[in-house]
Amino acid sequence: MGVIHVTDRAGQRHTLEAIEGWRVMEIIRDWGLPIEGLCGGACECATCHVFVAEEWMDKLFPPTEEEEDQLDTVVTKSSSRLSCQILWTPELDGLEVTLAPTGD
Amino acid sequence: MTDHIETDVVIIGAGPVGLFAVFELGLLDIKCHLIDILPKVGGQCAELYPEKPIYDIPGFPMVTGQGLVDNLMAQVEPFNPTFHLNEMVESLESIGTPEAPLFRVKTSENGTTFVCKSVIIAAGGGSFQPKKPPIDNIEAYEGTSVFYAVRKMEMFRGKKVLIVGGGDSALDWTVNLQPIVKRLTLLHRRDAFRAAPHTVEKMRSLVAAGDMDLHLGQVSALKGDNHVLEGAVVRKDDGSEHLVDCDVMLPFFGLTMKLGPIAEWGLNLHENLIPVDTEKFETNVPGIFAIGDINTYPGKLKLILSGFHEGALAAQKVHRYVYPEKKLLFQYTTSSTSLQKKLGVAA
C-alpha cells in the first residue's frame, strides 16, 4: 500500500491511495479526478498527460518510443509523461504529479 | 422543407457500435443513414488504434481495430446503409409526439437535413476534433491567424508561417507550403519525427539549404494585437525563450474527442454521458436512443461488446416506432429463412 500525490488544474493537491499494478492514470481516474484517458490506456491519445515532480523523474522507467510519439501531440515540459504508461509499484510510494492543462 | 432525406433511423456515429446497430436494425427491415465527422468509418477503432490488437470481442481471440471495422462493414453490407462522412450533426429537433416520434436532424458541413422516426446516438466520446494546444489566448487568433487545418493553400501565400508538430500533417504541410510562403518555420518538441521518412528527409534538406527553419521547443505565448498574430514565444527544454516571427500558426497535434452539440439536445446529460434505461437504451426523449460509450446506466461498462448488446435491444423498440402496426417475431439467423433472405444467404 502507498499513495500518490496529484495536483489538479486548480492547484489543489490530493493524496490518493495507490494500488500495485494499476496505472497511475487509472488510480487518478478511479478517485474521480478530471483525467480523460480517452483511449483507455492504450498509449494512443495523450489525454492522461501529467508533469512529474523533478525528484521522481529518475525513478520511472524511461518513456518508450510510442509514448514519445504521443507526447508529440501535447504541449510538453521536460517533466511530461503519460500517466497510463506509469505502472504503480511500492517504489513509487509518494509519487508527485500534476495534471497537465488541456486545450480548452 | 423540400430538400431532405427521409429514412427510418439516423445513427450518429459510424464506430463499431453504430455499425452493428445497422445490422440489428436491418434484420428488422429498418433502414438507416449514418453520420460521422471523420472521413472514414470505424470511429476510435479506425482513428486511434487501427493496428492495436483487441482481445475481448466475443468469437475473436484477437482482432485489430481496423480488422474489426472491416468485418463489421462486411456484416452490414446486405443492408446497404448510407454513410454521410465528414459531417457533424449540428441540430436534433423533435417534430413528432411521444407516441409517434419524428425528428429533424441537420448536419453542419453541407447542411444535409434528415427526417426520421428514431435517432440512435452512438457517438462514443463525442466528435473527433483537432486538439487545441493549451496556449493562453489562442482563441483570439483562431480563424484569423491560427488554423487547425489547411483548406486552401493560397491563403498562406507570402506569409510567415509557423507549423507546430512532428507527425504526418505537420511534415506534409511543411513540405507543401514551403514553396509558396515567405518563410516557413517548423517547431517540434524534439528532433525526432513520426512522419513518413521521405517527407522528413525532404524537410531536413530544406533546412540544410537554408530554405526553412527548424526549431525545437514549445510555444509558450502568442504575440499580436486585434486577432493578428505577430510572433510566437518558443520555450526550449532548458527554459530559455525566444521569439519566432510569424503571422500564421498551424498547430497539428492530432485529434481528440469533444462532446459538441449533443450537450444541447435536452438529454439530461450526466458527466457528459447520456442516461438511458437498460431495457431499450432509450433516453428521456422517446425515439432517441444512446448506445455504446456515450451512454450511462447503473453497471455500465465501456466495452465494445456492451454496445453491441445495447444496439440489439434498442432495435426492438425502434421497430415499434417504425412499424407500429406490426407484431415483432423474434427469430434466429441460423433458422429463419426470412432473416437469411435479408442477409442474401437463403438457399
Q: Residue A87: what pLDDT?
A: 96
Closest by Cβ to B48, choosing from A45, A76, A100: A45
Q: What's the total number of domains in chain A?
A: 1
Residue A69 domain boundaries: 2-99
Q: How far is CA B7 from CA B94, B102, B114, B116, in A?
A: 15, 10, 7, 5
B237 touches chain A (CB under 8 A): yes
- Kindly report, residue by residue over B273-313, the tens digit of the pLDDT: 999 999 999 999 999 999 999 999 999 999 999 999 999 99
Subunit contact A68:B192, Cβ cutoff 8 A: yes
Instruction: Please report the ipTM that was assigned to this predicted complex.
Output: 0.85
Q: What does the pLDDT average to over B219-241? A: 93
Q: Residue B2: what pLDDT?
A: 54
CATH code of the domain containing A30: 3.10.20.30
Residues of A in contact with B253 (CB under 8 A): 72-74, 103
Subunit contact B165:A73, Cβ cutoff 8 A: yes
Q: Residue A83: what pLDDT?
A: 97
Subunit contact B133:A103, Cβ cutoff 8 A: yes
Chain B residues 34-73 with a CB less than 8 Å from chain A: 44, 48-49, 52
Q: Mind listing the domains of chain B with CATH numbers?
A: 5-128+256-342 (3.50.50.60), 132-252 (3.50.50.60)
Q: What does the pLDDT average to over B132-141? A: 92
pTM: 0.87
**Percent of chain B clearing pLDDT 70 (strictly above):** 99
B266 phi and psi, to 5 degrees? Answer: 65, 35
Residues of B in contact with A69 (CB under 8 A): 194
Mean pLDDT score of chain B: 95
Q: Residue B151: what pLDDT?
A: 86
Query: Would you place residue A94 in the very low, low, confident or very high pLDDT band (cuts 50, 70, 90)?
Result: very high
Subunit contact A103:B131, Cβ cutoff 8 A: yes
Question: Is B6 exposed, middle or buried, given 0-12, 13-18 or 19+ CB atoms closer than 10 A?
Answer: exposed
Tell me the C-alpha distance between B221 and B233, whole Å.
5
A104 part of a folded domain: no
Question: Is B41 exposed, middle or buried, given 0-12, 13-18 or 19+ CB atoms closer than 10 A?
Answer: buried
Q: Which site among A44, A66, A81 would you substitute to test the B interface, given the most B Cβ atoms closer than 10 Å to its Cβ?
A: A44
